[in-house]
Chains A and B, each alone.
Chain A
Amino acid sequence: MTSDDTRRERSTPPAAAADIPARYSRQVLFEGLGAEGQARLIAARAVLVGCGALGTVQASLLARAGVGTLRIIDRDFVEESNLQRQILFDEQDVRDVLPKAVAAERKLRAVNSLVQVEGVVDDLNPSTIGRLLDGFDLILDATDNFDARFLINDYAVKNGVPWVYGACVGSYGLTFPVLPGETACLRCVFESAPPAGLSPSCDTAGVLGPIVGIIASLQCAEAIKILAGRRQAITRKMQVIDIWEGRQDLIDLPPRDPQCPCCGRGVYEYLQGAAGSDSVRLCGRDSVQINRRDGAKLDLAEVARRLGPLAKVEVNRFLLRADIDAYRLTVFADGRAIIGGTTDASVARSLYARYIGT
């Protein structure tokens, strides 16, 4: 569906108030939304990129709010150290080594069966982004790295889809919506990503649950306004919060920059990143992700048999986990792997080649 189709569809008359399920009564009572706004939410389609700290809060709020179709994309699996802030997950998910997108989908179905929830275990990169994001009214940023955010920005500006940036580290977080053609895009505000090591990361600075909850909630507030068609209510500012010092700033966004490579000149450098890099260091994880470029499916049972004599191997429907020496290899059926125990891409690549294949 093109974005033009999406717009036309959203402008069709919404359902009558009587058709709105009673479970949304408190939201319908809210003057800013009403039955008409709720009907728009029910007809809306939102996609969440990432289902970690920000994503679990967003997914929970939007599913409860009745956003009719939610796709949740995540490349990772649930670990014990996630539970401090990733509010959809529990200890059983850790024991089951569930992919986050799968665990989230299960939880959300139990939360609101009226909503279509689709968890997708995949990595967002230039070659997957069209397939993963096409056909949605709104994109929510719940990623943990700059590359993914700039990639979302390119896609959103190019296709005229609104998105909501949000990011946190330590006790600090910030968010603003990007309305293509109307407001500054991410590259108008922060033109480029910091080189590795120049930006504090959750690797070094940690993160508190409450700041993530606040930023994700602010993102959802904007999402609800956008999806309900309440454009005048959108907060067209950057909200910057530090919960350790109790500071909140509302900062004017810059005007759109005619020289902005993305929204000014229409050069989508991140989308053109072709296959991108075959390995990515994962934030705060002592891990490297290896992407398999050919996209060939792996037979996880076969890999498990092969590694059986060498390693402690666990396998479920979604992934295989092998503990070899000091490393933990988690391999998904699409051939993607997360190599734990190193942040060195070359070490990770050689482990992948040795144990999984080339």
Chain B
Amino acid sequence: MAIQVRIPSVLRRQTNGEDMVLLDGVTLGEVLDGLEARYEGLRGKLRGPQGEIRRFVNIYINDEDIRLLSGPTTPVADGDEVTIIPAVAGG
């Protein structure tokens, strides 16, 4: 078991097309560290220089908005699903 991170289609160029990435970590921040280490192209797209979640990206752990939890320090557990919802501009 591990934490499942669902990659939205608009960010899959950065993950070589992977739509689901399995990662370990105790907090959401650690999971994102692992994600960025594996896919350099995602660096800067989800978090700013201080590790803060970008304000144009929403992240959910099992459908709970992490901004209503503890942000990057929110604890995660095996089997949790992390969902990334980016704002997009087209139309």
Instruction: Name A's B-contacting residues (CB within 8 A).
Output: 50, 52-55, 141-146, 149, 166-174, 189-194, 198-202, 205, 207, 212, 215, 238, 240, 242, 244-245, 249, 251-252, 254-255, 283-284
Q: Is the CB of A142 within 8 A of B91?
A: yes
Confirm or deny: B89 has a beta carbon within 8 angstroms of a beta carbon on chain A. Answer: yes
Q: Is the CB of A245 within 8 A of B19?
A: yes
> A167–B8 Cα gap in the complex (Å)?
14
Q: Is the CB of A200 within 8 A of B91?
A: no
- Additional 17 contacts, C-beta under 8 A, given A55-B91, A190-B58: A53-B91, A141-B91, A144-B90, A146-B89, A167-B90, A169-B10, A171-B9, A190-B56, A199-B86, A199-B89, A201-B88, A205-B90, A251-B58, A251-B60, A251-B63, A251-B85, A283-B90
* In the complex with contacts A190-B55, A252-B65, A254-B67, A174-B88 CB distance below 8 A: yes
* Total chain B interface residues with beta-carbon distance under 8 A: 26
Confirm or deny: B54 has a beta carbon within 8 angstroms of a beta carbon on chain A. Answer: yes
Instruction: Name B's A-contacting residues (CB within 8 A).
Output: 8-11, 13, 19, 44-45, 54-58, 60, 63, 65, 67-68, 83, 85-91
Q: Is the CB of A167 within 8 A of B89?
A: yes
> A283–B91 Cα gap in the complex (Å)?
9
> A143–B89 Cα gap in the complex (Å)?
8
Which residues of B have CB within 8 Å of A212? Answer: 91
Which residues of A have CB within 8 Å of B58? Answer: 189-190, 251
* In the complex with contacts A172-B10, A193-B56, A194-B54, A202-B87 CB distance below 8 A: no
Residue of A nearest to B56 (CB): A194
Which residues of A have CB within 8 Å of B10? Answer: 169-170, 172, 200, 205
| A188 shortest CB reach to chain B, Å | 10
Which residues of B have CB within 8 Å of A202? Answer: 89-90
**19 A–B contacts, CB within 8 A, in A order:** A50-B91, A52-B91, A141-B91, A145-B89, A146-B56, A167-B90, A170-B10, A172-B9, A172-B10, A189-B87, A190-B56, A191-B55, A192-B55, A201-B89, A201-B90, A202-B89, A238-B85, A251-B58, A283-B90
> A260–B60 Cα gap in the complex (Å)?
20
Which residues of B have CB within 8 Å of A252? Answer: 63, 65
Which residues of A have CB within 8 Å of B13? Answer: 200, 205
Residue of B nearest to A173 (CB): B88
Q: Is the CB of B89 within 8 A of A172?
A: no
Residue of B nearest to A238 (CB): B85
8 Å CB contact of B68 from A169, A191, A254 = A254
Which residues of B have CB within 8 Å of A249? Answer: 83, 85
> A308–B58 Cα gap in the complex (Å)?
52
8 Å CB contact of B89 from A53, A144, A254 = A144
> A51–B13 Cα gap in the complex (Å)?
29
Tell me which of B45, B57, B65, B90 has the highest count of chain A C-beta atoms within 10 A of its own C-beta. B90
| B40 shortest CB reach to chain A, Å | 15
Residue of B nearest to A143 (CB): B91
| B50 shortest CB reach to chain A, Å | 15
Which residues of A have CB within 8 Å of B63? Answer: 251-252
